[in-house]
Amino acid sequence: MGPWNNLWLFTKKSITGIIIGVTISDRYLTFVSVRGDSMHPTFTASPTTFPGSLKGDLALAERFCLDKYRFSNGDVILFKCPSDHKQIFVKRLIALPGDWIQVPESSEILRIPEGHCWVEGDNAACSWDSRSFGPIPLGLVRGRVTHVVWPPWRMSQVERKIPEGRISSY
Amino acid sequence: MSLGSRAAAVFGGAALAKTLCAVHVVNAHLCGVAFVLGPSMLPTMNLTGDVVAVDRITARWGSVAVGDVVLLLSPENPRKTVAKRIMGLEGDAVTYLVDPAKGDESKTAVVPKGHVWVQGDNIYASRDSRQFGPVPYGLIQGRIFCRIWPPESFGFIGQKA
| Beta carbons of B86 and B70 less than 8 angstroms apart | yes
Which residue among A82, A83, A115 places its CB closest to the CB of B78? A115
- Average pLDDT, rounded, for chain B: 89
Question: Cβ contacts of residue A41 below 8 Å, gap of 6+?
Answer: A122, A123
Of B25, B29, B138, the CB nearest to A82: B138
- Tell if the CB–CB gap between A115 and B77 is shorter than 8 Å: yes
Domains of chain A: 32-164 (2.10.109.10)
Residue A162 has pLDDT above 60, yes or no: yes
User: What is the tens place of the pLDDT at every residue in B70-122?
Assistant: 999 999 999 999 999 999 999 999 999 888 888 788 889 999 999 999 999 98
Contact A148, A156 (CB under 8 A): yes
In the predicted model, what is the mean pLDDT of residues A62-84?
Answer: 90
Q: Which residues of chain B have a Cβ shorter than 8 Å from any chain A Cβ?
A: 17-18, 20-22, 24-25, 28-29, 62, 72-79, 112-115, 135-140
Give the CA distances from residue B74 to residues A139, B49, B82, B128, B138, in Å, rounded to whole numbers and listed in that order: 7, 18, 6, 9, 11
Interchain pair A83, B113: CB under 8 A: yes
Distance from CA of B79 to the nearest CA of A (A): 7
The answer to whether residue A134 neighbours chain B at the CB level (below 8 Å) is no
Nearest alpha carbon to residue B150 among B68, B77, B81, B47? B47
Give the domain ranges of chain B.
31-156
Contact A82 B24 (CB under 8 A): no
pLDDT band at A154 (very low <50, low <70, confident <90, very high): confident
**Global confidence as pTM:** 0.85
pLDDT of A46 reads 56
Query: In chain B, which ranges are E strands?
Result: 31-36, 50-55, 69-74, 77-88, 93-97, 106-110, 115-119, 135-136, 140-149, 155-156
**Is residue B2 classed exposed, middle or buried when 0-12, 13-18 and 19+ CB atoms within 10 A define those classes?**
exposed
Please indicate whether residue A80 is annotated as part of the active site.
no
3-class state of residue B34 by DSSP: strand
Cα distance from N-terminal residue to C-terminal residue, chain A? 71
As separate numbers, helices (DSSP H) first and strands (DSSP E) second, chain A gives: 2, 11
Between helix B3-25 and helix A3-27 the angle, nearest 10°, is 70
Task: Based on the residue annotation, tell me whether A161 is a catalytic residue of this protein.
Answer: no
Closest partner CB to A140 (pick from B28, B77, B139): B139
**b or e along A138-170 (b: 16 or more beta carbons within 10 Å of the residue's beta carbon)?**
bbbbbbbbbebebbeeeeeebeeeebeebbeee
Instruction: Look at A52 and B108; give whichever has higher pLDDT.
Output: B108
Mind listing the pLDDT tens digit for each residue in A101-152?
Answer: 888 777 788 889 999 999 998 888 888 888 889 899 999 999 999 999 877 8
Ranges A15-19, A41-45, B49-53: which has the least confidence: A41-45
The confidence score (pLDDT) of residue B76 equals 92
Measured CA to CA, the distance from residue A139 to residue A120 in angstroms comes to 17
* Closest CA in chain A for residue B78: A139
Catalytic residue among A33, A46, A91, A168: A91
CATH topology of domain B31-156: Umud Fragment, subunit A (2.10.109)
pLDDT given for residue B92 in this prediction: 92
pLDDT band at A47 (very low <50, low <70, confident <90, very high): low
